[in-house]
Amino acid sequence: MTADLDDATLVEPDDEGGDGLTHVIAASGDGQRLDLLVSTSLDISRNNAATLIANGNVLVQGKREKASYKARAGEEVVVTLPPPAAHEVIAEQIPLDIVFEDDDLLVVNKPAGMVVHPAPGNWTGTLVNALKGRGGPLATTSEGREGIVHRLDKETSGLLIVAKSDRAHRVLGAAIADRRITRRYAALTWGHVTEDRFTIEKPIARDPRDRKRMAVVATGRAARTDFTRLARLDPADLLRAHLHTGRTHQIRVHLSSVGHPVVGDDTYGGGGGRKLVGLPPRRHFLHAAWLKFRHPVSGAELDLRSPLPPELHRGLTVMLGPDAPAEGVDLLEHFGFYDLED
């Protein structure tokens, strides 16, 4: 079951839904086209939404309607996604950095460049391939996403929770949806923000001009990120980002929207000057460094931390120049990343 769905509730498929997943959407305003409502709520292209409608996969109050139908407030829209084409997920022997593990879950320190789960263009080399290669139990979610509770972008490194039991997956998914799992990221951004502490609360959806990107879109899904500046460097700021929602590319989109893209982020305008920081190609300076949550079975408080990986540590050291602390110092500890509560 996928977590963090504010505007659509994901439920298990019924007999008519086959192996697909069924989304139930409550229309919240009068006059929105059906194809646009489905596209925004499910984070799919408008063309894909129109195809689902034309194929009878979308029902409004139990009836088929056209893509141009104007949904009224309170109407129930049921979208049944057809099952994905079968594709074997291969178990692969890929080393993983496990920072916590017990019978119910594990937390992995994902490297940059690793995709979380298989998808077209990335059927091998993913975190799920590596998890299957380790052996042992994983929560029985959809094929290819076994155990996955939440995701990180391919080029974002850091801590990610994996459920080993169905019970743990269910409890952790609910905890993310209820904002009871604290996720904090270290980000280096170009330029200087105007305040030491600020919040960006802007809706996010697919960029209507480029389906490979996300963007701030008025009809998008609600998204909130809190930021704290930890250091003001010559050309950039070191920020701590606290996620309240988990939209695709959320931190990167929010920072780009205020003119301070993540350093090294080619997609959202921060790629220029990568050589100045010494980052590898395609690497952006975003790291999921801190997780705090209650264990889904024991209830014990877990506080898990990940220092900056070597390439980000080197990049930040380059930015600091002669002000860089002695070699071996944890730069996140040095700048108080774990000291203050958002």
State which H helix or E strand residue 197 sits in: strand 197-201
Taking the C-alpha atoms of residue 269 and residue 262, their distance in angstroms, rounded to an integer, is 8
| Of 35, 104, 153, 237, catalytic | 153
Ordered alpha helix ranges (H), the chain: 34-42, 46-54, 127-134, 166-177, 250-257, 274-277, 310-320, 331-334
Give backbone dihedrals phi and psi of 315, rounded to 5 degrees, phi first. -60, -45
Helix, strand, or coil here: 218? coil
Taking the C-alpha atoms of residue 14 and residue 38, their distance in angstroms, rounded to an integer, is 19
Identity of residue 196:
D
Active site residue 153: yes
Burial class (CB in 10 A: 0-12, 13-18, 19+), 169: buried
- What are the structure tokens assigned to 213, written together? 């990107």
How far is CA 329 from each of CA 42, 178, 228, rounded to the nearest angstrom? Answer: 44, 35, 21
- What are the structure tokens assigned to 241, written together? 């980002």
Three-class secondary structure assignment of 91-120:
CCCCCCCEEEECCCEEEEEECCCCCCCCEC
Residue showing tokens 């994901």: 10
Q: Which of 231, 201, 228, 237 is nearest to 216 (CA)?
A: 201
Buried b (16+ CB within 10 A) or exposed e, 79-98: bbbeeeeeeebeeeebebee
- What are the structure tokens assigned to 273, written together? 């000057």
Tell me the catalytic residues. 153
